[in-house]
Amino acid sequence: MANQSDSVVVSVGFRLAPEHPYPVPVLDCLTATIHFLKNAEEYGVDPNCIAIVGDSSGGTFATAICQELVTREDLPRLRAQVLIYPFLQSGDFDLPSYQQNQSIPLLYRKRAIKLGLTHLTGKEINVDPVIKGAHIPPDYREKYKKWISVDNIPEEFKARGYVPSAPVPFSKELYEQVKRAGETKFAPLLAEDDIIRQLPETFLLTCEYDILRDDGLLYKKRLEDNGVLVTHHHLPDGFHATISFFDLWPLEFPSSRKCMEHVVQFLKSLYK
């Protein structure tokens, strides 16, 4: 990515759950980002040409950081955000992509939610009622259905099958355990419109065989509805973590190279 786009790439180390649960990891990334923005010229970087890039949970962090920084008038404005199959919402783990890809490697639905809850709480929590939505208060479900809804997902992405399920009874006890999952640093899709409309130009990549595909599609709609310029690439043969196999012969997949090429092309387009 650095070589092909002629960019300085800063890879941020952050503390990990369960020893350091949410929000510590994302705040570590935010601290590093603010430091770099303030000192970019010391690294030979134009402070007006900085993009935040992340994949998977790193895409969550990148999204949250961009939202956090839109109100910071003391910092250079980010040039772009690059989001590669990010996790973005905790309100519906039964969207079409979660149903269709629940047993597809590398990110199985149960495993993904288990990891997410460990990141959130530092503890192991039974994921089955969370998958069914028992952690969502009725007023929360009503408030956010305009953003987290299967109706906002194009019909072509339901072609491999989707069976709507009725909400299960709300569990106050479960909600108390995971209620911070509704915060925008954890679920950036829930940010208000006045934040979304201030975001920078966005690159968004989704993969067909990925439970997080619909998170990306829902965020794409939110961004576009609020006038944010979006470059979206969907990989019909892609799967979660495909970019991690780039140049990892003999394990590289065609989608791995396509993913990296799309990212590099976008980054190069920013600085012409």
**Which residues does the annotation mark as catalytic?**
56, 210, 240
- What's the CA gap between 248 and 257, in Å, rounded? 10
Host H or E run for residue 116: helix 109-121
Mapped onto helix, strand or coil, the DSSP state of residue 9 is coil
Mapped onto helix, strand or coil, the DSSP state of residue 271 is coil
Q: What single DSSP character describes residue 182?
A: G
- What's the CA gap between 70 and 65, in Å, rounded? 9
Question: Which distant-in-sequence residues (6+ apart) come within 8 Å of 90 by Cβ?
Answer: 116, 178, 181, 182, 186, 187
Residue that the structure tokens 């980002």 belong to:
33
Both tokens of 194, joined, read 């006045």
